[in-house]
Amino acid sequence: MGLLSTFGRPRPVTVPTDRVVHLRYWDDLHYLRSLCHDFTFRFDDVLDASKLEAALDRLMEIGDWGQLGARLRLNDNGKLEYHIPAEYDKSTRPAFGFTTAEYGISINEHPLGARLPTTGQDQSVLSPSCAEFAPLVRHEDSPRELADWIYSDRPQLHVHVAVFEDATLLTVSYLHTLFDAVARTNFFKAWIAVLEGREEEVPPFVPFDQDPLCQLGKEVARENYTHFGRLVAGLSLVLFGLRYLFELLWFRKEEEHPIRVPGHCVERMRETAQQELAAATPEGAEVPFLSEPDVVSAWWVKTMVTALNPAPSRTVMVMSPFNVWGLFKESFPAGAKGFIGNAFFNSYTVHKAGEVLEDNNLAHLACKNRQALVEHRTKEQVQAMTAIQRQSFMQFPPLVGDSNLLFMTHTNQHKARYFETDFSAAVVATGVPLTERPHALGRPSYINDIEHCRLYPTRNVCRVIGKDAAGDWWLLFKTRSEAWPSIHRQLATLLGIDQAEARDVPNAVDQVAITHNGSSPAKMYSEARGMLLQIRLLWRLLV
């Protein structure tokens, strides 16, 4: 259901016994309202869905964890509220949605299940988009946008478990206002602690009426931000918006594909970059350190800019979210491990396109990104950035650079350690034999993350899902469809795929694109309506 179809719809009547709590400031941001996720673990084992449900049900009875079942409401002032039930009833007002599907066949016998990416999968042909697996990983009643919550009495979380004879898909659907990537791990850890009978290790839940970061950006000078003089504002912001709108209108179709970068490729790039830095470092000085995520980020930036082929003089701005728990420990009296919410802000790395496209400069790009993160990840800079964001229209994060910048976002979720999530306590049968796989019992072999966007463009975004048990890195790229042949050729070069195969890459990409972009009249109408809504949002932002 879209926003245009919600006009005139009645909001649910407030239940007198519900406790009403306003969302925390940094949870109720306009762009977070626009993003909903279906986050899926693929296990090569059979999990007992009833054990998963019972453990989650018990978690909701421990301390304040039951607040996860709060209902989302939009009040008369346009602000979001949590309506927290005094008690839950599984048949009338459950604390969470929970559905299952039993297939009774091998996952490889299922038309969609057989296409799911796997550990060590061949990348000579692009993997399908995460969204293609929606009919498999979602229930037909799973939510996908804000309206699905505020015009119903739906709980915050919907869990769907698809069980095969040799695999299980566990999906959690939620709105981004509920939590960020790292807090999502807090939820999984608490759930697993109950599943394993370690209830005493479940951390205290930080109640929704406690806002640890509510003072950020208050009574702080915006001018303290290190790049204050380079903020895109006023006429520059208007011009940026018009150029971005042109990009959306001219290159209407976009695609997102999961990319597996083998660990040995990442390590080779990192070692080469470290050698280059050592050679360029004066004798006696400390050689800068580069991590694997630094190198993965630099490779993505170079790959994307090469594929998009902007003018060499054009500014490239890379926005990289980071979590601030470590900076403001004193603000989390109950401990960050029990925090369910959003606690991320952004660092900014600014390049010229020509600089990115230079040969053999991966070390430079990686170093520049790391330096930007170190520079921004301080209390003083976070305070200044949040002061700017508080005063912006609809609290959007600031932009740094100039009106002609190429906007890119890179989010590193490796710190959440999703591939180390251990649901072995719910395993009732092994799927793939342990001797034939790198991951342990009850640990995911693949992660599928469908991002549903309403109004808020998420083009030129990379989500680093993390490093799997085989040491390989999984990334999600989203950009215009026309860029994908170049991206895949660059991936083929990195992997050392035979040149004959590499020459076939455009055809392989075209085949995937045809699968994704075949447009029925209903789909064309939906795309047109979505574009109109994006134009309206950008117009409101600019004028």
- Active-site residues: which are they? 176, 422
Count of other CB atoms within 10 angstroms of residue 27: 24
Kindly give, in sequence order, each residue whose CB lies less than 8 Å from that of residue 446, ignoring residues fewer than 6 positions away. Answer: 42, 116, 117, 118, 119, 468, 474
Q: How far apart are CA 33 and CA 55, in angstroms?
A: 29
> Can you list the pairs that 462-465 forms with residues at least 24 positions away whose Cβ atoms lie under 8 Å?
462/297, 462/300, 462/304, 462/408, 462/409, 462/410, 462/411, 463/411, 463/413, 464/293, 464/296, 464/297, 464/410, 464/411, 464/412, 464/413, 464/414, 465/258, 465/413, 465/414, 465/418
In 9-59, alpha helices (H): 30-33, 49-59
Amino acid identity, position 45: D
Kindly give, in sequence order, each residue whose CB lies less than 8 Å from that of residue 13, ignoring residues fewer than 6 positions away. Answer: none
What 8-state DSSP symbol labels residue 457? -
- Residue 329, phi then psi, degrees to nearest 5: -55, -35
Residue 215 three-state SS:
coil
Kindly give, in sequence order, each residue whose CB lies less than 8 Å from that of residue 382, ignoring residues fewer than 6 positions away. Answer: 216, 324, 327, 345, 376
CB 37 within 8 A of CB 176: yes
Element (H, E) at 8: none
HSE-up of residue 141 (Cα within 13 Å, Cβ side): 13
Residue 118 three-state SS:
coil
Let me know the angle formed at the C-alpha of 438 by 435 and 441, rounded to the nearest 5 degrees: 75
Q: How far apart are CA 64 and CA 217, in angstroms?
A: 28
**Paired sense of beta strands 158-163 and 97-102, if any:** parallel
Kindly give, in sequence order, each residue whose CB lies less than 8 Å from that of residue 144, ignoring residues fewer than 6 positions away. Answer: 36, 38, 138, 173, 452
**Paired sense of beta strands 427-430 and 97-102, if any:** unpaired
Radius of gyration of the chain (CA): 23
Residue carrying structure tokens 């902007």: 310
Q: How far apart are CA 188 and CA 203, in angstroms?
A: 12
Q: No. of H helices and E strands in the chain?
A: 15, 16
CB 470 within 8 A of CB 460: no
Name the nearest CA neighbour of 355 among 311, 300, 392: 311
